């Protein structure tokens, strides 16, 4: 464990807490893409298959349980909570995430470190996480009005990935033969997807204007 990874995990935790607080307290999920939330639930469900078989550390197990619980409860809130679901704009959130899931599954079957069920599922979860934010970014560009909680949520998610890249650089420098192209490339792609959002988010923050993404 290093400071980059710990702060990355904490930033990731913050992002889901911000989202849960927004949905739970103001009972609204306006501007949030259910498709992205479903993709994240899928990411954690396929990545943490070994939660009860391979014990890494107490921290690791607790964080996995938190991410599983929060991602599934956010999906539940947006789908079934009688008040929250009313604020979900399904007309705008139309990204066909199946078109993301299938290519990731095929790629995971072809490009992986070991052709076993667990390994393919783990690799699949990496690829899905890399593209999971796309429906949310598309929705933000459509709905124009980005409330600052949603903006903070996306910003924290991007920051968590950026910190993970620093973590991989640190581990590469300190642990010999720590080379994992699949993890690194999918993580890099994911972080790059946030690049333009970061640009507009920081600009809007600097000029103290509402965050507007270009059409």
Partner 1 sequence: TPDQTTKDEL
The footprint of partner 1 on this chain (CB under 8 A) covers a number of residues equal to 21
- Which ranges of 26-147 does DSSP label H, i.e. alpha helix? 34-47, 58-80, 98-110, 117-131, 134-143
**Contact string 87-106 vs partner 1 (x = CB under 8 A):** --------------------
List of residues 6+ apart from 141 with CB closer than 8 A: 213, 214, 215
Residue 180, sorted as left (phi over 0), alpha (psi -120 to 50) or beta, turns out to be: beta
7 binds partner 1 (CB under 8 A): no
Using CA atoms, how far residue 9 sits from 13, 48, 60, 163, in Å, is 6, 15, 10, 9
Q: Find, among 160, 140, 142, 143, the residue nearest to 201 by Cα.
A: 140
Binder to partner 1 among 24, 54, 145, 192 (CB under 8 A)?
54
196 binds partner 1 (CB under 8 A): no
183 binds partner 1 (CB under 8 A): yes
Binder to partner 1 among 40, 88, 95, 122 (CB under 8 A)?
122
129 binds partner 1 (CB under 8 A): no
Residue numbers at the binding site for partner 1 (CB under 8 A): 5, 9, 12, 50, 54, 56-57, 60, 63-64, 67, 113, 122, 164, 167-168, 175, 177-178, 180, 183
């Amino acid at each position: 464990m290093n400071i980059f990874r710990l702060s990355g995990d904490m930033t990731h935790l913050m992002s889901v807490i911000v989202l849960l607080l927004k949905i739970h307290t103001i009972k609204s999920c306006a501007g949030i893409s259910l498709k992205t939330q479903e993709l994240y639930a899928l990411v954690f469900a396929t990545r943490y298959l070994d939660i009860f078989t391979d014990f890494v550390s107490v921290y690791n197990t607790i964080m996995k349980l938190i991410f599983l619980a929060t991602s599934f409860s956010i999906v539940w809130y947006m789908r079934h909570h009688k008040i929250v679901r009313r604020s979900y704009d399904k007309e705008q959130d139309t990204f066909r995430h199946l078109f993301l899931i299938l290519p990731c599954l095929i790629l995971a079957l072809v490009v992986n470190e070991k052709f076993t069920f667990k390994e393919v599922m783990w690799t699949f979860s990496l690829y899905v996480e890399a593209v999971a934010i796309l429906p949310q970014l598309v929705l933000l560009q459509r709905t124009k009005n980005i409330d600052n909680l949603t903006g903070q949520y996306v910003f924290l998610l991007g920051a968590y990935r950026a910190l993970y890249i620093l973590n991989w650089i640190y581990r590469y420098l300190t642990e010999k033969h720590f080379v994992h192209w699949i993890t690194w490339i999918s993580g890099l792609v994911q972080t790059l997807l946030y690049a333009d959002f970061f640009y507009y988010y920081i600009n809007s923050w600097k000029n103290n204007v509402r965050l507007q993404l270009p059409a």
